[in-house]
Amino acid sequence: MNATTETLANQTLARPNFDVDKIRADFPILSREVYGKPLVFLDSAASAMKPRQVVDTIRDVYENDYSNVHRGIHYLSQRCTDRFEAARETVARFLKVKDSDNLIFTKGATEGLNLVAQCYARSTLKPGDEILISELEHHSNIVPWQMVAQATGAVIKAIPILDDGQIDLEAYLALLNERTKIVAITQVSNALGTVTPLAQMIPAAHAVGAKVVVDGCQATPHMALDLPAMDCDFFAFSGHKVYGPNGIGVLYGKPELLAAMPPYQGGGEMIDFVSITESTYKDAPHKFEAGTPPIVEAIALGTAIDYVTEIGLEAIAAHEHDLVEYAMDQLAQIPEVTLHGTAPGKASIVSFTWKGAHAHDVGTIIDRAGVAVRVGHHCAQPLMDRLGVASTARASFGMYNTRAEVDRLVRSLDDVRTIFA
């Protein structure tokens, strides 16, 4: 590291109301050591750590208010139902969705995307209809569409990317036609951090009559969202990436689409009336929430959202943007490193390979220095093919990371150089 970058590393960023030390104090796990070294956790894109407030909510519900929801007339059932539905309202405010009935609790983004594929696409697509998905997609936004295409005779087409990891907008616009029925697109690439140009993509899809399914998994922790302004038809995310528990996620759908969609799971609490041979269903969201839902997880997701909202998504985005820029600058100075994904305005993720070393070796070596990154294909094999690599090392930042931790990452790579020299 040269003198200039060292000075930069020690700068305290002028962000009123954003106190990274105070935030870190809420995440006890960040103070632990691994292999006798202080942990540097750079794997929040896989799953973010949980603040004490979220853990406290989980304990509080189980110790004080726990019961099944929507089923009981007794005090605790009503109390727990109120907290569960209050969490849905919190998610609605977070996404700026007016009516929380348009929000379905799922177990994560994967379930949300599969729900759209099975309940919406499967009953509406015809042979020859086209589904557009981008080369950036996570497998959760690829495989469900393949399953639907196989079942309906629809055809999947890829929206190409440019070499820096941006969507090739021109190619996308050229792909759209009257056969395009679904555009399924991530808002932020989990492997590269690219932010996709939804403001241009969504109106263009609507202009040919297609519905747009947004995978918001990597966006919700990093940027303020306004779904009505975005005008997507469906939007899915996972609670565990936005500092909430795992086992809970949310699917948003436009009301007219949810109303027309059949449920894909039957069971308790999604029905109005059941006889031995047939049933009628409740309205959304309940018709898509068969069985006992992840009650405590949903309530604690509400706490996680309150937590990030209090800090402010704009402040979080600015802090993480600084970390990404700083990390990209530092890593670009290392001759053995190739950065993958250099699109402007990237969110929170830096992917790289090391000349002559497999990403798994890089990850294993720096892990011994206490630095946790994800290595592999990041559940984005078509993207790896497009980049011409088998795998990358990925550092992903949360609001609790610091420039000093980026420096630890960079220093830990000296060990890779030593071993592979």
251 contributes a contact to ligand C6P by CB under 6 A = no
- Strands in 124-206 per DSSP E: 130-134, 155-159, 180-186
Give min distance, CB of 47 to ligand C6P, in A: 7
- 217 near ligand C6P (CB under 6 A): yes
How many positions of this chain bind ligand C6P (CB under 6 A)? 17
Q: Which is nearer to ligand C6P, 238 or 401 (CB)?
A: 238
Cβ-based nearer residue to ligand C6P, 70 or 374: 374
Separation between Cα atoms, residue 372 and residue 44, nearest integer Å: 10
The rounded Cα 134 to chain-centroid distance in angstroms is 16
- DSSP 8-state symbol, 161: B
* CA angle 385–387–389, rounded 5-degree value: 70
Structure tokens at 17: 């109301």
User: Which CB, 244 or 263, lies closer to ligand C6P?
Assistant: 244
Q: Which of residues 355-414 bind ligand C6P (CB under 6 A)?
A: 374, 378-379
Instruction: Write down the catalytic residue from 119, 217, 232, 379.
Output: 379
Examine residue 222 and tell whether it contacts ligand C6P (CB under 6 A). no
Check residue 190 for interaction with ligand C6P (CB under 6 A). Answer: yes
The nearest distance, CB 194 to ligand C6P, in angstroms, is 11
Restricting to residues 290-309, name those near ligand C6P by CB under 6 A: none
Which of 218, 303, 392, 412 touches ligand C6P (CB under 6 A)? 218
**Residues 48-107 interacting with ligand C6P (rule: CB under 6 A):** none
Residue 92 in 3-state DSSP? helix
248 binds ligand C6P (CB under 6 A): no
Pseudo-torsion of CA 197, 198, 204, 206, nearest 10°?
A: 170
> In Å, how far are 156, 165, 383 from 191, measured between CA atoms?
21, 10, 8
Query: Does 108 contact ligand C6P by CB under 6 A?
Result: yes
DSSP H helical ranges for 283-312:
295-311
Give 150: exposed, middle or buried? Use CB within 10 Å, 0-12, 13-18, 19+.
exposed
DSSP string over 356-384:
TB-HHHHHHHHHHTTEE-EEE-TT-HHHH
Q: Which of 57, 100, 152, 186 binds ligand C6P (CB under 6 A)?
A: 186
CA distance 138 to 75: 43
Q: Which of 44, 57, 100, 140 binds ligand C6P (CB under 6 A)?
A: 140
Q: Alpha-carbon distance 303 to 58, whole Å?
A: 9
Site membership for ligand C6P, residue 110 (CB under 6 A): yes
Give yes or no for residue 193 binding ligand C6P (CB under 6 A). no
Burial, 276: exposed, middle or buried (Cβ in 10 Å; 0-12, 13-18, 19+)?
exposed
Tell me: does residue 44 bind ligand C6P (CB under 6 A). Answer: no
Question: What's the closest the beta carbon of residue 374 comes to ligand C6P, in angstroms?
Answer: 5
Q: With respect to ligand C6P, which residue has the nearer C-beta, 141 or 180?
A: 141
Please name the amino acid found at residue 203. P
379 is catalytic: yes
238 binds ligand C6P, rule: CB under 6 A? yes
| Candidate ranges 50-58, 108-116, 285-293, 408-416; the one touching ligand C6P (CB under 6 A) | 108-116
| Residues labelled as active-site residues | 379
Q: Where on the chain is the footprint of ligand C6P (CB under 6 A)?
A: 45-46, 108-110, 138, 140-141, 186, 190, 215, 217-218, 238, 374, 378-379
